[in-house]
Structure 1
């Protein structure tokens, strides 16, 4: 991992394990998505990066390799000190404290879009090295978790252009759904009034969309 400060390269350090899903950090710890057959993220001491502590719950599958590929997370931290691990292929969001201690799991499978995707994902379950990722990115802001989701259960109707808004303070209640104007997006972030979404096309395209206009 490379570090930069004021636009200048500030050094790097090696990781014992990692994947490309979203990570987060506090003043003292880096929370990095990193899956084994028994843990789902790393806690890295920002002052001594050799201290890399595995933590996080996993859903155990029939084999170790299936467990590893099925438990990639998006790691989100809030100002209150909570850490949320959002699965990309299970309808679960795990909550931890600022030290990586497990608190609880939120089940979001009752949301219609998630329910449909979960049912389709189960058709891949017999295959050891196959999963269906239906949560493609996650973001935390203003007390809400936002999920970029795929939809459709065939090549003809498959899309990645729906963002779900969930309330952290109200048991991950589904608050709103935003349908984006094009078919495929890869990642996003947001401000108080705008979504900034990366369209998955040849050449980088970032769109700015007023949240009030895409309900």
Structure 2
């Protein structure tokens, strides 16, 4: 009987041990491109921690507005391990989003990260849609100092409903959150998705599908 209890405890311990990410075995793992003296960890080579310096954990320039002169009227400036090597393996990244008047950060998802957004300037209409079968639309108008969370993997957007520029900063719970812009992914894929698939999926006339697939779908990052 003791053997059965011991086995049960081992199974439980194994289950709990695999329920979350493993703890770090070192303080940091600064990303480098030189593979001569590096160790490959989670997609990056890491330099000897004894050679770490302040510049490995530093970036500047987020005070400079992004160029919003595009079709969307918005610009996303990403700070990740490519910009701050010391972010490697720490599971976080940061973006600045600039919006022209009535600029849009279009519907998109981050497949690997939850996003928490803070409005610094302007007025944003934001929202996300929950997963099937409910597809609830959760939305709010945000003002400077307001914070809003977009859960991992859910389609979301931000729209500047004001007549002046807007600025927001977001933290994302991955060093590589990924982004899938819905319109571009569906109608701007290369090669193109068979129009018959989109006709049936979206209940659209085929001429409209063909027109959508012929459009230029801009990105803002």
TM-score by length of 2: 0.24
Larger radius of gyration: 2
Higher strand proportion, which one? 1
TM-score by length of 1: 0.25
